[in-house]
A and B are shown apart, each in its own frame.
Chain A
Amino acid sequence: MSEPVLDYDQVLANFDPVLGLEVHVELNTASKMFCGCATGFGAEPNTQVCPVCLGLPGSLPVVNQTAVESAMRIGLALNCSIAAYSRFARKNYFYPDQPKNYQISQYDEPIAYDGYADVDVDGEVFRVEIERAHMEEDTGKSLHVGGATGRIHGASHSLLDYNRAGVPLIEIVTKPIVGAGEKAPQIARAYVAMLRDLLRALGVSDVRMEQGSLRCDANVSLMPKGSTTFGTRTETKNVNSLRSVERAIRYEMTRHAAVLTSGGSIVQETRHWHEDTGITTSGRSKEEAEDYRYFPEPDLAPVTPAAAWVEQLRATLPEPPAEKRKRLQAEWGYSDPEMRDVISVGAVEVIEETIAAGCGAQAARKWWLGELGRRASEQGVDLAEVGMTPAQVAQLQGLVEAKLVNDKLARQVIDGVLAGEGEPKEVVDARGLAVVSDDGALTAAVDEAIAANPEVAEKIRGGKVQAAGALIGQVMKAMRGQADAGRVREIILERLS
């Protein structure tokens, strides 16, 4: 079902891309947007529901104050104006996982509007203008059973889980992103990454793309080079990782270009992104899309935040991620390439916490980008979920610096921590991993090595100190690695002086 695409360089030679990004953020409030039900991810189906979020007759919504605060803080962090008068509106459409067959959303009176955010791509700053950020409720989930693809097509029946129905969402919509040229896909990715970091710093969302708490829809269109009239756009949904954002946009640009170059025209439609094959396929056409019949939600009063409340919330904003990174880089003394690596693997927060727990900056970077980074990518999880906390990493580094373990033993300590054997110190004790610091035992081992290698010993006595390496290796082997190589070297040189 693959469609023709044009080479990316050719796309750029002939067209300018225009992007528009709609990001849905699930807030991490304890309760839902309009009722008191819990919001936890992964509960038994239909256990976090009540008359309100099931849309039972007679039930009425009540706005979650914390969600409104989160929406306002997000708006402020994106340099938006906060509306003094904002209303909810009903978006009417029938779908089984939409309990009331309308979604309470916001239409022409959003809580936050006209903002911007700066993103950094290869050291170049690009400003993304924000159109609006508005509040709405999530839908339930449909599980289509019996078909080959898990889609409704071909399914024998569907199961409905309303646990997610009514979970608060913030939709953040950009203004058209023009002038990005070849960097358009990267800018989109950097924008979503920036939002993820910002939302995490605000503490308003879990921002787990893989769990759907951060979802991106990408609008893409092309206009002939030199033109200022936007082309017909497509909206690609289901883009659920940073890498996919970049790939999906790049793919759509090449597909659009192929259609336009061959004299065709783009159909305004929804496209579905397929992570596995790296292509998009046609969804429903927008031409036959529903008329949502938006109108002000009569069950809810307007949201009219007092100026003092807005200022109070502004004062709670965290340091902007970009500024924070600059400050941290200076504090930590990382080179530009070092910092870029740290950012690209999402290690800023864990390193910050590790350093706060007493670890040196370079050591913290070494652990998180080295041993722990490797294990996180093996497990396919974020660093924060690798199974070792920043405090534990700092403790491990303390053991290394106290020469209780060496680097090789430290890796075994990590194995132990990840296996759930406790804190690094407990693992060292339980597994007997501490280096032998008893000089008597080490001296005996050194003497044995000298006796077994008289010619090497002779070279060292003769001043060829670098030959000591061979003896150190012998001793370490005899000690099964549990010795401090530096101390072994000292003893060898003492004995042969």
Chain B
Amino acid sequence: MDQLLTTNAAQLGAAIGAGTTSSEEVTRAHLDRVEAVDDTVNAFLHVAGDEAIAQARAVDAKIAAGEKLGPLAGVPLALKDILTWTKAPTTCASRILEGWIPPYDSGVTERLLAADIVILGKTNLDEFAMGSSTENSAYGPTRNPWATDRIPGGSGGGSAAALVAFEAPLSIGTDTGGSIRQPASVTGTVGIKPTYGGVSRYGLVSLASSLDQAGPCARSVLDAALLHEVIAGHDHRDSTSIDQAVPAVVDAARNGDVSGMKIGVVRELGGEGYNPGVQQRFDEAVALLTRLGAEVVEVSCPNFDHALAAYYLIQPSETSSNLAKFDAMRFGLRIGDDGTHSAEKVMAMTRGAGFGREVKRRIILGTYALSSGYYDAYYGTAQKIRTLITADFTAAFEQCDVLVSPTTPTTAFRIGERVNDPVAMYKADLCTIPSSMAGNAAASFPIGLAPEDGLPVGLQVMAPPMADDRLYRVGAAVEAALAEQWGGPLWQQITPLTTEGAQA
């Protein structure tokens, strides 16, 4: 495999800036790799090859002209297909948006382009980001490069899989209940959910407005931090965007030091229901943090036990309203417009044909939860639980700098294994949902392979709102210690896909 494909983004950016390679060369190498392996992986829904080459050449020209560019200038990236970009369709992996080319760039897209990052294309996801396996994509599931009969997590399975299929060194994910962190965990990559409001939601097609947050995905902690710094910051077009300085995430990633840090292990997130291999690697990671000088204590967050149930009322409620705009009137799919059906009927026929089963399930669930007579019992109660979860975090963060848990109770499960059991599927997000509900920062870092199946396990780190830098301190410390132990990063242990798409 071309060495450019396994080089981290920070080094690629430095090499491009120094002129030892060009953005075009790096971009072509990745496009070739996508061409070679994506029939198997299906990480991409749309590859914008010509546009990427044009972008890369423009960056090379700037460098040739002596312009001083950012640390990731010229580095290719894969964008989750739920963020708008005018150069490619935005489908949200749904039939209802098939071929829709948005007339505007998302806030994240704008910042990527302003940082001279080259966008290769749009990555696969569960339809409208609803799912934990990418099996709910209308365009087929993404496969986990660690084992192609396994799911890559979801909803951002495409963005995570692309990293360890070496199709891109960087990607953007979005996390509503764990859609960055759970895929990172099961693919052995780094995924960060910034503090809610830390990254603009403008141009991120809403799943649940109060929970959605875009964030960086990468193979290394420093790469994630560099990307975090690019996309974060206030955007006046998003009223929930926080108007404060971005936490010093790059400094934290460069100085991974946990000595003196107080780290809380959440009692409610572990034990029964967790795979032994997951629990084992997590316990080892906790022991490692102690060895590195952190003070580890156990904390209790009793309301986390209700987080999953409350999430599956709030998220579908907001979704039922957010997805109402997909009505065939102004954009996207239109079914039944043959002059014999009323507008109302065309809306119904289009939504019936255009949305998949999981999307419909959640629209129905949310519509019910918001209905007159049920609102207080469902949506109202769920909001109270949300407040209690936030209070649990506040109390825990009075004792600890960060909290830790396994990112997800199991390693990557098999494709098809949970498609007919939605609750089993939802449980993949058991550990990630509390931080989504409270809006604090959280991340998943690779901590090894589970002994029983040889699949990656992730460590979830949770930090108070706008203390995203603490995630990177912990992540960088763990990453450095484990790399020393393993003789390199975890992804070196992957059996690379051959160009024929088979596991070599």
Chain B min CB distance to A412 (Å): 55
Given the interface pairs A55-B325, A94-B324, A158-B343, the reply to whether A300 lies near B239 with Cβ below 8 Å is: yes
Chain A min CB distance to B178 (Å): 19
Number of interface residues of A (CB under 8 A): 30
Chain A min CB distance to B464 (Å): 20
Check B330 against A299 for contact (C-beta < 8 Å): no
Which of A56-64, A167-175, A480-488 has 4 or more CB atoms under 8 Å from chain B?
A: A56-64
- Chain B residues, CB < 8 A from A101: 324-325, 327
Chain A residue, CB-CB nearest to B204: A58
Q: Decide if A230 is an interface residue (CB 8 Å cutoff).
A: no
Chain A min CB distance to B230 (Å): 19
Q: Decide if B97 is an interface residue (CB 8 Å cutoff).
A: yes
- Chain A residues, CB < 8 A from B201: 60
Check B321 against A58 for contact (C-beta < 8 Å): no
Interface flags for B362-383 (1: CB within 8 Å of A; 0: not) read 0000010011100100010000
CA gap between A208 and B210 in the complex, in Å:
39
Partner of B239, one of A94, A96, A99, A301: A301
Check B208 against A58 for contact (C-beta < 8 Å): no
Q: Decide if B486 is an interface residue (CB 8 Å cutoff).
A: no
- Chain A residues, CB < 8 A from B347: 94, 96
Q: Decide if B106 is an interface residue (CB 8 Å cutoff).
A: yes
Interface flags for B187-229 (1: CB within 8 Å of A; 0: not) read 0000000000000011111101110000000000000000000
Given the interface pairs A92-B370, A295-B321, the reply to whether A58 lies near B202 with Cβ below 8 Å is: yes
CA gap between A61 and B236 in the complex, in Å:
10
Partner of A57, one of B238, B329, B331: B331
Chain A min CB distance to B81 (Å): 11
Check A62 against B209 for contact (C-beta < 8 Å): no
Check A57 against B90 for contact (C-beta < 8 Å): yes
Partner of A99, one of B238, B330, B370: B330
Check A100 against B202 for contact (C-beta < 8 Å): no
Check B103 against A96 for contact (C-beta < 8 Å): no
Given the interface pairs A55-B330, A57-B325, the reply to whether A94 lies near B90 with Cβ below 8 Å is: no
- Chain B residues, CB < 8 A from A96: 327, 329, 343, 347
Q: Decide if B344 is an interface residue (CB 8 Å cutoff).
A: yes
Check B367 against A94 for contact (C-beta < 8 Å): no
Given the interface pairs A96-B329, A293-B372, A295-B321, the reply to whether A60 lies near B239 with Cβ below 8 Å is: yes
Chain B min CB distance to A89 (Å): 11
Q: Decide if A332 is an interface residue (CB 8 Å cutoff).
A: no
Check A94 against B344 for contact (C-beta < 8 Å): yes
CA gap between A59 and B239 in the complex, in Å:
11
- Chain B residues, CB < 8 A from A293: 320-321, 367, 370-372, 375
CA gap between A295 and B326 in the complex, in Å:
19
- Chain B residues, CB < 8 A from A295: 317-318, 321, 370, 375, 379
Which of B321, B326, B379 has most chain A Cβ within 10 Å? B321
Chain A residue, CB-CB nearest to B97: A57
CA gap between A27 and B329 in the complex, in Å:
27
Chain B min CB distance to A52 (Å): 8
Q: Decide if B83 is an interface residue (CB 8 Å cutoff).
A: yes
Q: Nearest 8 CB-CB pairs, A to B?
A: A101-B324, A298-B209, A293-B370, A298-B210, A58-B203, A57-B205, A291-B372, A55-B325
Interface residues of A (CB under 8 A from B): 51, 54-63, 90, 92, 94, 96, 99-102, 157-158, 160, 291, 293-295, 298-301
Could you jot down 7 A-B contacts, CB within 8 Å? Answer: A56-B102, A56-B325, A57-B97, A58-B104, A94-B344, A293-B320, A298-B318
